[in-house]
Every structure is written in C-alpha cells, then in structure tokens.
Amino acid sequence: MGALGVNLDGAIKPKVEWLKSVGVSDAARCVFKNPRLLGSSLTSLQEKHDFMVNTWGRPVSEIERFPQVFTYSLDYLRKRHGYLQAYGRAEKGSLHRLLRTADYLFATRHAGGAVEEYQAFEPSVEGEDTVSLTGLGLEVRGEEVTAGDKHLMRRLAELSRDQERMEAVSQMREAIRGFLATDMDAAQPLTKPDAAQPEAAVVLEAVAAVKEAAEAEEAVDTEVAPASTGVKLS
C-alpha cells in the first residue's frame, strides 16, 4: 500500500505542481478532465504550454477549460495554428473546435481555405512567425497577411486543382482513344470475307458430308429390305 502510494504521489504531484505554477487555478480538475496528462513528461507539457500561450496567444484559462490540448502533438498544434495564421484567423474560434474539428471543416469553415491546401501545408520549423504553403511557393508572415495575400493563395490553390483536373481528363481521353482503337482493330478481321468465309465453308462441307453419309446409309437399308421380306418362316 505504501509503495503504491509513493508511485501515485510520484506520478501526480509533479504534474499538479507544474499546472499550478503556470497559472492553472484548479489543477485537480484539469487532471480529472484529461488523465493522460499523467503520462506526459514535464518537458512535453512545458513545450506545448509555451507554444499555446507565447506563440498562439491563448490564455491559460482557455487551456484549463480544454486540457486535452496537451494530448495533441506539438507538430499538430503548429500546423493548425500556422494555417489559421496564414488566413489571419489564429485568434478566432475556441480551442475545442479548432483542434477537434476534422480537416475538411477546419480548413474550409474555420480558416476559409481548402482541405487539399491544408493537408499540404507545412509550418516553418525555424521560426514560429513564418509559415509556408508547400507547393505554392509562398511565404507569409502572420502579421503581414493582407486581403490580397489571401486572394492570391486561394487563386493559386484553385489553379493547382484545375491543372490536376485537366491532366486527369486528358489521361481519361487517351485511355478511351486507346480502348476504342484496340476494339476496332479486334473487330476488323471479322468483317473481312476472306477471313470469315473459310471457317464457314469448312462448317458447310462438314454438314454436307454428314448428310450424304446419312442418305447413303438410308439407301442401303432400302435395297436390303425387299430381299429379306421374300423369305417365309414356317
């Protein structure tokens, strides 16, 4: 019992003390709402807290209401924040919705972008204030995003998707042409008389031979029948 108490105390107490030190008013309730906090290292918790408070600008009270924020990886938090920042919406919406929403709804509804764009998005590792849109050749600083920047990013994303559609349509057309060409080549020999007639002639000859054999056999039976009927049995 004593050993178990020591283990529990060693797992819970440091986390509770740390939560209190960063400004959480009810640390016990925070742990109750997200017990997985106990399985995280203090280093990981500190890194996520520093990012959420110092970089994203979220108050500790909001983190206390949604302690599940510590469950997500730091890369996931950076990606969500960076994409929102690129569209100037990093401060809008609750953490609960911004982090738990599926990619499509997050990108289109909360950020105002496109899900393909978000999935290809990679935040800058070197600096938290700089984000890049992979494949679009853009780098935008969160504080310098303008309406023109947003329009340009959306337009480039639309052009990229249009190009992909055009390539897919072109490939489909080539596939249809190839299929039709192959089908026509395969059908051509059947329309040539010199290719189809020999086979038909062979079949007709075989049928005629069978018919002649049957008629000959019937004639033989007819000739033999009168001779056999002349014999009287006593």
140, β-bridge pairs? 131
16 and 62 assigned to the same domain: yes
Final residue before a domain boundary, out of 71, 93, 115: 71
24 and 111 assigned to the same domain: no
Residue 214 lies in a domain: no
Structural tokens at position 90: 């990093």
Final residue before a domain boundary, out of 46, 71, 96: 71
- Between CA 78 and CA 54 the distance in angstroms is 12
Residue 232 lies in a domain: no
Long-range CB contacts (< 8 A, 24+ apart) of 32-39?
A: 33/67, 33/68, 34/67, 34/68, 34/70, 34/71, 36/70, 36/71, 37/67, 37/70, 38/11, 38/12
Look at residue 65 and tell me whether its pLDDT is greater than 90.
yes
92 and 10 assigned to the same domain: no
Q: Is 163 exposed, middle or buried (0-12, 13-18, 19+ CB in 10 A)?
A: exposed
- Between CA 152 and CA 88 the distance in angstroms is 14
Residue 234 lies in a domain: no
145 and 155 assigned to the same domain: yes
105 and 177 assigned to the same domain: yes
Tens-digit pLDDT profile for residues 141-156: 444 555 555 556 666 6
62 and 81 assigned to the same domain: no
Is the model more confident about 161 or about 26?
26
Q: Is 234 helix (H, G, I), strand (E, B) or coil?
A: coil
21 and 93 assigned to the same domain: no
Residue 204 lies in a domain: no
58 and 81 assigned to the same domain: no
> Which domain covers residue 26, as residue numbers?
1-71
Q: Is 15 exposed, middle or buried (0-12, 13-18, 19+ CB in 10 A)?
A: buried
52 and 112 assigned to the same domain: no
Residue 208 lies in a domain: no
Number of domains in the chain: 2
Residue 211 lies in a domain: no
Look at residue 88 and tell me whether its pLDDT is greater than 80.
yes
For the chain, give the mean pLDDT: 74
127 and 44 assigned to the same domain: no
Final residue before a domain boundary, out of 11, 43, 71: 71
pTM over 0.85: no
Tens-digit pLDDT profile for residues 170-223: 777 777 777 667 666 665 555 454 544 555 555 556 556 656 666 666 554 555
77 and 179 assigned to the same domain: yes
- Pair 128, 135: CB distance under 8 Å: no
Residue 222 lies in a domain: no
Q: Give residue 80's pLDDT.
A: 95
Look at residue 121 and tell me whether its pLDDT is greater than 80.
yes
Q: Give residue 136's pLDDT.
A: 44
77 and 46 assigned to the same domain: no
